[in-house]
Structure formats: C-alpha cells, structure tokens
Amino acid sequence: MEGANGEIGQELVDKANKLFSRRVDFLLSAPQLKFLPEPTVPEIAFCGRSNVGKSSLLNAITGRRSIARTSVTPGRTQELNFFEVGEPTQFRLVDMPGYGFAKAPVKVVERWKQLVRTYLRGRAVLKRTLVLVDSRHGLKPVDIEMMKMLDEAAASYRVVLTKADKIKASALTEMREKVAEAARKHPAAFPEIHVTSSEKGMGIDDLRAAILSDVEL
C-alpha cells in the first residue's frame, strides 16, 4: 500500500504490473446512465481535456497498443467506456468523455456533462478519478471546472500530468509545483501529483500502483 507520505512501495508496483499484464478487456460503452454495468467491482475513472493524451495513457497503463482508441479529433469519446481488469474481474477502468473544445453540438456536450456529473455523484463503487493535465499547458479553466465538479460530488481524485517528455525538466518541475499548489485548494484532490509520459513510459509503474492502492481501499 501507499505510505502516509504518498510514496509507492516496490511490492505494490510489482503487484500492479503483474495484474495489468494479465486480462484487460473492453466491457461496454454507456451513452446513458441506464447502460452502466452493475456496480459489482471498484472503478477508477479517467478524465481530461480533449487531446490531453487520455487514450494513450490508458493504453500505456494496460500495456495494450489500442485498447483505448486514440484520435487527433477532439471529443471523439462521447460516452463512458468501461474496461475490466483481472480474471476474475478485480476492478474497472472508466474512460470519460473529453471536455473542453470538443467538436460537438452544444446540446450533445451538455448531455455528456450531465452524464458525467450524475455518474460522479451517484456511483458508489467509484474509488478515485484521475484528472489528466497536459504538462505543457498546465491547468486551464475547464480543468478547474472539472475539479470543482469533483469537489462538489465529494469524489476524490488524483491530478496526473501527461506528455512530460515534451517539455524540459526544469519547466516540468516548475509546472508540477504550480499544479500541486493549485490542487491544495481543492478539498477532494489527492496531494500527490503524478508525472507521466505514455510515449517514454515515465511514471506508468507508479500510477498503476496508485490505481491498485485506490482499488484496495
């Protein structure tokens, strides 16, 4: 398990890596709440602005090349996508619709927002949400809006910086500190900021372990 200061133990890292090397399968897409799977196992949700690298991170975490579709077209994910991990299923990963500059009609975007908001507030098996933020750009107003939504839903979350290989180390350190300072103002935010690169594999082992830690709470 994680220590009191948020450090990840090697034993947990090894356990998480072993688990993700086994069965990970797509379960279903839920465009409406009535299509949600039965809440029988813990769930970890992923959210972030369009093109933040969410699909790439899901692929990296699960060790699959295309379990989550990647696209240069913002707003491609229009529903909640569920993936099962483990045999038998130990938990699920939930890919949420990208937010921000989604290329979709206003009514459709509002419907997505309602779906996400209701899921966050009412899903008893939701253990943690991962809010993905592009390391190059930091927190944008839409990210803060999402964080406030999570605060209001009392849904605890981790902030995950993506594409960390795309900026210099000094700039990355500065961005991490800046984002951590902002996160401390949000009651539902986890204090540790995860730094990842799907392309280079940076931070993936620790994030897998953090997910497993959250699942086992």
Burial 134-158 (b: 16+ CB within 10 A, else e): bbeeebbeebeebbebbbebebbbb
- From first to last of its 217 residues, what are the pLDDT tens digits of the chain? 444 334 568 999 999 999 999 999 999 999 889 999 999 999 999 999 988 999 899 999 999 877 766 444 445 457 899 999 999 999 999 999 888 755 667 887 788 888 888 999 999 999 999 999 999 999 999 999 999 999 999 999 999 999 999 999 999 999 999 999 999 999 999 988 999 999 999 999 999 999 999 999 8
Instruction: Specify the pTM.
Output: 0.90
Cβ-contact 50, 99 below 8 angstroms: yes
Return d(Cα 57, Cα 89) in angstroms, integer: 21
Q: Pairing relation of β-strands 126-134 and 157-162? A: parallel
Residue 216 backbone phi and psi in degrees, to 5: -85, 5
Return d(Cα 168, Cα 173) in angstroms, integer: 9
CA distances in angstroms from 11 to 3, 7, 64, 88, 212, listed in the order given: 12, 12, 23, 21, 11
Domains and CATH numbers, the chain: 10-215 (3.40.50.300)
